[in-house]
A and B are shown apart, each in its own frame.
Chain A
Amino acid sequence: DVKVTQSSRYLVKRTGEKVFLECVQDMDHENMFWYRQDPGLGLRLIYFSYDVKMKEKGDIPEGYSVSREKKERFSLILESASTNQTSMYLCASTTPTSGGADTQYFGPGTRLTVL
């Protein structure tokens, strides 16, 4: 069965702290994604990775960085957390197919509050 896990369901941090959000998938997927979800805005792509050590910016990368040292793990890093980064963060993974877009499978999400 498909499984994407995220390290925390709820997280509370202080402004200026460095924050790590971890995502692990057990499906041997090449592609992994980080989204943030805000009311009225839907899901917006922060970063994605299509291979180990490879990454590309999504639509809203400012204030974030990522790390992918192993295929199964994709980390989102907030170098200096700010209150406007309070949000729900969702990780997803998929395998590219020759036929085009494959289904993305999502983790349970991390609700981050920055005070």
Chain B
Amino acid sequence: AQKVTQAQTEISVVEKEDVTLDCVYETRDTTYYLFWYKQPPSGELVFLIRRNSFDEQNEISGRYSWNFQKSTSSFNFTITASQVVDSAVYFCALSGDGGATNKLIFGTGTLLAVQP
């Protein structure tokens, strides 16, 4: 069975601190995809990144970076120099190679509060 665990329920940091959100996944598929979504207070989930299981290169996009490690089944997300606008719930999600249907399995989310 597939599962995503986000052990950190809530994190509070002060602006300009770096923060890492953890994501650990379980799957028996050899081909799978990992996602991060951001849910600001407005409620809409915003897509941040998609990574397939064959691409273990780390990715950096501005202040955001992702560390994918198959050996530990982790796909962690780091925000550098956090800002108040980063305050949101962040979800990690997993999808197998589902063919015609691409169901996502979500973690329970991490609430990040960035204090000014």
A contacts, CB < 8 Å to B? 9, 31, 33, 35, 40-45, 48, 50, 56, 58, 88, 90, 92, 94, 96, 99-109, 111
Contacts and interface: CB of A to CB of B under 8 A. Distances in A.
Given A31-B101, A50-B101, A58-B103, A103 B35 contact: yes
Contacts, number: 73
A5 to B, nearest CB: 10
B78 to A, nearest CB: 21
How would you classify the secondary structure of chain B's contact residues: helix, strand, loop or mixed?
loop
B97 interface: yes
Contact of B108 (A35, A42, A100): A42
Interface of B: 4, 9, 31-33, 35, 37, 42-47, 50, 52, 91, 93, 95-104, 106-109
